[in-house]
Structure 1
Amino acid sequence: MEVNMFACNNLPEGAIFSIRAGQVRRQAAAAGNRPFRFPAKPLDSPLKIEVFKPVGTAYVVLRTNEDQYKLKFVSAGEETPMSCEMHVKSVEDGSAAPPTPGAEEPKEGSTSSKEAREYLESHAVMQFVQSLLQTLIKDKPADPYAYMARHFQSGYEPHEQRSPLPTNIQSAPASPAMKTVQAAMKEARPRIKAPKPPPSRRDLMRMNAKDTFLKASLDGSLQLALGQKAPKQPVDLTAVRAEAKEALAKANQDGYFRIALKSIAIQKKYGLVDVSDITRIAKNNLGLLPQPLNIRFKTALAQIYVRGAPYGGSDKSSNGHRYDSIPIANGMITAGMSCQLV
């Protein structure tokens, strides 16, 4: 008797047909479209047809001198995997059951050779197995399977714990592929500089001290304090004369002496420019921005205005500054430079 199943609808994926006629049962994948053959005639006994659905799959690789294995079945949605142990032994007379039509499972065509190769390459399985076999042939251990199992565990025993790495050992360098990825990520990452941390209390004290010394040097208080407290040192006139003679000879040789004499002649003819007001620090800083914390350059803005009017003429404001002094100083402060109005 031959039974064929066709026009099957709404069967679950991987469904298996199980047909029983009398004492004979045949099973085959529903997607195989293969006939089921029985020794009985069509009217000898009723047929029992069942649809089975696989709930777990396990693969085992048989090896020499081993007859007991443990299987773990992979199933979707199960937190605890199903497992069982299996015993395999050879038949003494070597006889094998004849193939039964309909019982052979059709070959799966879902996984192509290209997909299999991509999977093995993505996990570097072939490279690892090749290196493992080369090492196995070179060492020739007494128990090759235990030897390979140890390499699968990176040289550790199954229950052996790894020692923590010392702090002075850095991580392994990245592979060329990883370096390429890191370079691409670095190129794509926006080049935004991280904000500078706020200055510490010590830095603020240091900057305030610098500003105090700067103001003292400009208004003359520093020179006055040094002149009052500095002890008088005896002057060696012979050394001073020798140093002056050497400086004059060098200046005459370089041409600076002639330039200095010419400058003195010009000063005698036209007089000197009065720059005494430049050393006076402005007291009214209304509208001036606070000085920057991280100073790039230190500057001083000297103001010159026309005298005559009640407030110094058309170019002088009521606070004693030129109209353009505060904007210029604020621009310099915004650029990271300290600016002192004098």
Structure 2
Amino acid sequence: MQVLVQRLEGVPVGSYLSIGCDGQRILRRLEAGRSFPIPGAEIGALKIEVLQSMGSGYVVKQPGRQACSLSFLPETARAAMKNTKMLLELELMPQSPAEAASKAPNQEENSFYLQKHKLSEYFKALLSAMLRRKPSDPYAWMLGQLQGKIIASPPAEISTL
């Protein structure tokens, strides 16, 4: 089964649709015309929620580290939406196998993106430099490189004869 969002009124831009069914949850950005596949949910109750992000960020888990911190800036525009009426119309319909297959990641787009920004070459060079230097904290060193906070070694003395 799939859920098709037909119309949105009063739903803040950037909201997410959460669909819970039989112990699983699907969470996607909410857009009119977008369908949400619900595998194996031909019968049963669906819990539908409209959610908003309070902030977002990316974390890359580093091997050996179990914790990290991430800061978010509050969004003040949410206070004005407390009494806003929202309308969400959904349509439940079966998902075709062709649609399910079309949702797979596009390898060509990913390759084009990497080539366009020369990311593969950059990260190869970054890893090569890190392996030559062997910093005590490789993650901090790479972060410094990515943020442009490049720490240079003090210059060696030149001996004169």
TM-score under structure 2 normalisation? 0.47
Question: Greater relative contact order: 1 or 2 (C-alpha under 8 angstroms, separation 6 or more)?
Answer: 2
Higher helix proportion (structure 1 or 2): 1
Return the index of the structure with the highest Cα Rg.
1
**Structure whose residues are more often strand by fraction:** 2
